[in-house]
């Protein structure tokens, strides 16, 4: 019998169609794996009843020959996605007990295609974090370890539960969201593939908002092929999200030919950071060599405003967050603080938010309130929005000059230890996003592909940045990079 835990989405799809095993059998395998993996804290809510019912329905469809790609595929869903009747808290205390009365567009599309939800996945609170340590549910522990050392490592963040679950074979794929790198950084830290699509490719409706002009959902999976399959199921126009693009969704999987002859791949000199580990430098150079060997042309390019992306992001994202998170006031849902005699509605708002939001969320909401406040709006917010224009123009210029994709490291280091950054300046943590955040500011698609291990055996990834709406070509280059890299490392099971 096939080892069901080692499958990819593509393998499972083909085997389900052939009848090698049933969706019910596949689902039981993953429900069992999740139960045995409590030590990772990857799942915040398990939904075995829903999973079994969906698997049964998928088997009935399969029996009738109605077999969309995702039919019967067991998935984990990031806690940021509203799932009808199922606890959805964005890993925050302030949404205690929230059970949405509606289903996000993306999860609706996945379930309509026959996908199975195993449960909700842990994450940084409101997707604000790079290590999963801001979660009200407690941090996720990466399935990866440094050699034989048993120190607990971060799976990255904010989609840390998604990354850990896919990497530890607790599901075949997971939804993630990416505002500054929250899909690509955890994917790189755990040796999996993560795609942040073009802004507007996937509907944001029913996804708890962090920074609306930057947020974009995408797949986190084991292979580039799986990312193509799952992205196609997640993408598409949605009238309920006014920024969702009314464009046809291509068959992304069909684009994976592996032929990248004549493609121009840009290497931006500004991404060569001072003090960058030699291993990351080497990984990047090897990645470029592999693409060159596959027939691509490697071109040195310049994206001159790169340095300003992170400070611009840390104005814009908190500004949007402070506005979006104003809805958490103890009135409509979630936590409400207890009041003392004589206290009124203002105390209720203030105490509810003080008790309900964690430290990092409070910090960002306050920074946002500050940069939007009278007298500082032009100096910070408008200035950052102008810098954002310049960052976008940097990309437009190189694409207009014929660059097809841009190759960069995904992260400035391998995964770090849980607690290691506890006393560090928050800015240090923000630096995790240094290679990924430009892509969100410019609204572009990006993919993180695992291509190597560091000296202690931890995964490292490279990022490809594509032209807007051309995820298909970007994924094909990612596919060529994946084939040439032959990354096959898996974490040793210790949990």
Partner 1 sequence: MSIDIKTARKVAHLARIEVAEDALPPLADALSNILAFMEQLNEVDIEGVEPMSSVTPMALKRRKDEVTDGGYQAQILANAPDTREGFFAVPKVVE
Which active-site residues does the annotation give? Answer: 78, 158, 182
CA 128 to chain centre: 12
What one-character DSSP code corresponds to residue 417? B
At its nearest, how many Å lie between partner 1 and the CB of residue 304?
Answer: 10
Given candidates 261, 274, 425, 486, which one binds partner 1 under the rule CB under 8 A?
A: 425
Part of the chain binding partner 1 (CB under 8 A), chosen from 153-161, 272-280, 348-356, 406-414: 348-356
Contact between 8 and partner 1 per CB under 8 A: no
Neighbours of 195 (CB within 10 A): 36
Distance between CA atoms of residues 294 and 372, nearest Å: 49
For residue 336, state whether it binds partner 1 (rule: CB under 8 A). yes
Residue 30 C-beta-side C-alpha neighbours within 13 Å? 35
Single out the residue of 47, 122, 142, 322 in contact with partner 1 (rule: CB under 8 A): 322
116 vs 56: CA distance, rounded Å? 10
Residues listed for the chain: 495
String marking each residue 164-203 x if it binds partner 1 according to CB under 8 A: ----------------------------------xxx---
* Choice between 426 and 457, CB closer to partner 1: 426
Q: What are phi and psi of 394, to 5 degrees?
A: -55, -45
Exactly one of 327, 347, 419, 494 binds partner 1 (CB under 8 A); which one? 347
Closest approach of Cβ 472 to partner 1, in Å? Answer: 17
Characterize the bridge pairing of strands 116-121 and 216-221: unpaired
389 binds partner 1 (CB under 8 A): yes
Quote the least distance from Cβ 305 to partner 1, whole Å: 7
Selected from 2, 373, 483, 492, the binder of partner 1 by CB under 8 A is: 373
**Neighbour count for residue 50 (Cβ, 10 Å):** 18
Is the torsion defined by CA of 350, 351, 357, 359 positive or negative? positive
Which residues, 6+ apart, have CB-to-CB distance to 3 below 8 Å?
none
User: Is residue 86 at the binding interface for partner 1, with CB under 8 A as the rule?
Assistant: no
Q: Does 365 bind partner 1 (CB under 8 A)?
A: yes
Please list, residue by residue across 354-381, b when 16 or more beta carbons sit within 10 angstroms of its beta carbon and e when fewer do.
eebbbebbeebbebbbbbbeeeeeeebb
User: From the list 6, 272, 292, 307, which residue makes contact with partner 1 (rule: CB under 8 A)?
Assistant: 307
Q: 410 and 185 in contact (C-beta within 8 Å)?
A: yes
CA nearest neighbour of 310 among 464, 210, 439: 439
Of residues 259, 326, 492, 493, which one binds partner 1 by CB under 8 A?
326
Residue closer to partner 1 by CB (options 221, 444) is 444
| Count of residues touching partner 1 (by CB under 8 A) | 72
Report the residue number, 149 or 386, with the smaller CB distance to partner 1: 386
CB of 112 to partner 1, least distance (A): 20
- Give yes or no for residue 98 binding partner 1 (CB under 8 A): yes
Binding segment for partner 1 (CB under 8 A), chosen from 180-188, 260-268, 368-376, 401-409, is 368-376
Q: Is 242 in the site for partner 1 (CB under 8 A)?
A: yes
């Amino acid at each position: 019998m096939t080892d069901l835990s080692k499958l990819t989405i593509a393998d499972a799809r083909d085997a389900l169609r052939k009848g090698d095993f049933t969706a019910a059998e596949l689902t039981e395998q993953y429900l069992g794996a999740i139960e045995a993996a409590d030590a990772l804290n990857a799942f915040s809510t398990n939904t075995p009843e829903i999973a079994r019912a969906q698997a049964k329905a998928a088997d009935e469809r399969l029996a009738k020959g109605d077999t969309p790609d995702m039919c019967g595929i067991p998935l984990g869903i990031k806690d940021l996605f509203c799932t009808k009747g199922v606890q959805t808290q964005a890993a925050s205390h302030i949404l205690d007990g929230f059970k949405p009365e509606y289903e996000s567009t993306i999860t609706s599309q996945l379930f309509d295609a026959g996908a199975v939800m195993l449960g909700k996945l842990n994450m940084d609170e409101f997707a604000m974090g790079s290590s999963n340590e801001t979660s009200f549910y407690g941090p996720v522990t990466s399935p990866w370890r440094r050699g034989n050392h048993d120190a607990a490592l971060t799976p990255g963040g904010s989609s840390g539960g998604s990354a850990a679950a896919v990497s530890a074979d607790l599901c075949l794929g997971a939804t993630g969201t990416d505002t500054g790198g929250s899909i690509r950084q955890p994917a790189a830290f755990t040796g999996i593939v993560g795609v942040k699509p073009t802004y507007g490719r996937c509907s944001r409706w029913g996804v708890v908002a962090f920074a609306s002009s930057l947020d974009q959902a995408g797949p986190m999976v084991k292979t580039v092929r799986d990312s193509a399959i799952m992205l196609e199921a997640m993408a598409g126009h949605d009238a309920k999200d006014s920024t969702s693009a009314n464009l046809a969704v291509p068959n992304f999987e069909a684009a994976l030919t592996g032929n990248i002859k004549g493609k121009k791949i840009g290497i931006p000199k500004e991404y060569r950071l001072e003090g960058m580990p030699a291993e990351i430098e080497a990984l990047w150079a090897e990645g470029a060599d592999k693409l060159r060997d596959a027939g691509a042309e490697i071109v040195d390019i310049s994206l001159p405003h790169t340095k300003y992306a992170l400070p611009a992001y840390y104005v814009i994202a908190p500004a949007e967050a402070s506005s979006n998170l104003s809805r958490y006031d103890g009135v409509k849902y979630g936590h409400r603080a207890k009041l003392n005699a004589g206290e009124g509605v203002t105390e209720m708002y203030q105490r509810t938010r003080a008790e309900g939001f964690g430290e990092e969320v409070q910090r960002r909401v306050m920074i946002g309130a500050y940069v939007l406040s009278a007298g500082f709006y032009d100096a910070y917010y408008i200035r950052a929005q102008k810098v954002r224009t310049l960052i976008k123009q940097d990309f437009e210029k190189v694409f207009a000059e014929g660059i097809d994709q841009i190759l960069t490291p995904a992260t400035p280091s391998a995964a770090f230890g849980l607690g290691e950054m506890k006393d560090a300046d928050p800015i240090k943590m923000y630096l995790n996003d240094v290679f990924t955040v430009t892509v969100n500011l410019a609204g572009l698609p990006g993919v993180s592909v695992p291509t190597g291990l560091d000296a202690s055996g931890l995964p490292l990834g490279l990022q490809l940045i594509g032209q807007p709406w051309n995820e298909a070509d970007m994924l094909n280059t990612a596919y060529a990079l994946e084939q040439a890299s032959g990354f096959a490392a898996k974490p040793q099971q210790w949990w």
